Every structure is written in C-alpha cells, then in structure tokens.
Chain A
Amino acid sequence: QVQLVESGGGVVQPGKSLRLSCAASGFSFSAFGMYWFRQAPGKGLEWVAVLSYDGSKKYYADSVKGRFTISRDNSENTLHLQMNSLRAEDTSIYYCARARVDYDFWSGSSPWGQGTLVVVSS
C-alpha cells in the first residue's frame, strides 16, 4: 500500500536551518507530484509547496518563498524540504502528501504522511 513517512523534525533555534525528508513506498514515486503542508499547533492546514513529478515545476506559499526549497530524489523515492532562516511562526507539524493522480498535481492530495513536528524556539 501507499506509504509516506516523514522525518527530520525537531527543535531548532530561530534563524537556523532544518531539512525534512519524506520516504515514499508502494507506488511509482517518479510519476507523481508531491506536496508539503503544515499545521501549527491547534491551528488549521496550510499549503507549503508542491513539486512536479520530474522536479521541473515547483511552487511555494508566499510565507515560505525564498526560505524553503522543495526537492526530490526519484532514485531514492524521497521528497525533501530544506528550511532556512526559520522563524517561530514556522513551528508546525509538517506533512508530505502525494498528488491524487499522476497527470494533474492540482487535483487534490492523497494520501498524507503522519507528519513530523518542527519547533522553532530559542
């Protein structure tokens, strides 16, 4: 079955960097667009970034543009999120998710991983 497992979360000081990873299995990873979302404690969902199947197209939320970079390694079935210049407001559970279908990554995301918690605090 399709499985997504995030890792790399933890506590980091403001201004520092962190790299999240999402290991994918159970489907043809290189054929699907992939997403990062986040959810601050007790708050709603926020879209972070999306990356096309081949890495050629990437789009970001304004709140992270210029600080975060989404990337993928199709040979390792892994999605990454490089987070630089972290701020307190970046504290969230970060979820990776697969595009619902391989031919249109805007048509919803399913499934989602269980998430990894990032806490930005001094």
Chain B
Amino acid sequence: QSALTQPASVSASPGQSITISCTGTSSDIGDYNYVSWYQQHPDKAPTLIIFGVNNRPSGVSTRFSGSKSANTASLTISGLQPEDEGDYYCSSYTSARTVVFGGGTKVTVL
C-alpha cells in the first residue's frame, strides 16, 4: 500500500489559483474514479471537499475543482482566499480493496 505522491507545500497570493497534484499508479488512481480530496485545518478533523475525482459535496465552494489524467489526480483552488490555508490530502481506492492517501500538501496564502 504505497502512498500517493503530493507536493509537500504550495503557496500563492490571495486571488491566485493553485493546483495540487496527486500521483498514484494503475492500481489506484489510474484504474478507478474513486479519488477524494480532504481539507484539514490545524487541530481540526478533515473535511471532504471532492469525491469521485471531480464532484463537490453540497456546501463546498465552487472554487474547488478536481480532475484526473492517467495515474495523476489534481485539485485546483481558484481565487485563493485566506481561509483556504491548511493541509490537503488526496485519497484513492485501490485494487487491493484498500484506501491509500497522499502525504499531504500544506497550502500557504501569502
């Protein structure tokens, strides 16, 4: 169960857009549309912001969007706002009937 690969950190100014990549294999991201993204603020529980590669749960801002190409999924945050600062994790279902996470990406709003 190897972890998915995410950049450790991404930073940008308010109003800009950022994209976080999440690279897996043909046994997880590449073969299934069960990619989710979670946002976690300091000392808080994670919250689901994207499911099924590119779907937003009710109440999640439209500034968050997801996509996938081959073995890599991506999360884009457009119009970056101060409250978007936090940690972001991708996850995927795998062929072994498990769930694997990325190592997390720390987003900093400059």
Contact = CB atoms under 8 A, between A and B. Distances in A.
Given A59-B98, A61-B98, A107-B34, A100 B103 contact: no
Nearest to A108: B51
Nearest to B33: A107
Interface stretch (A42-50, A66-74, A77-85): A42-50
* A interface SS class: strand
B64 to A, nearest CB: 14
Interface in B36-55: 36, 38, 40, 45-48, 51-52
Instruction: Tell me what chain B mostly uses at the interface: helix, strand, loop, or mixed.
Output: strand
Interface string A81-122: 000000000000001000010000011111111110000000
Given A100-B57, A107-B34, A47 B99 contact: yes
A59 B93 CA distance: 12
B48 A110 contact: yes
Contacts of A46: 101
A57 B52 CA distance: 22
B30 interface: no
B34 A110 contact: no
A100 B97 contact: no
Contact of A95 (B45, B97, B98, B101): B45
B46 A45 contact: yes
A26 to B, nearest CB: 15
Give the most central of A45, A47, A109: most B CB within 10 Å. Answer: A45
8 contacts: A44-B102, A44-B104, A47-B100, A61-B98, A63-B1, A106-B34, A110-B47, A112-B46
Given A44-B102, A110-B51, 17 more contacts: A37-B46, A44-B3, A44-B101, A45-B91, A47-B101, A59-B97, A62-B98, A95-B46, A107-B34, A108-B34, A109-B36, A109-B48, A110-B57, A111-B47, A112-B45, A113-B45, A115-B45
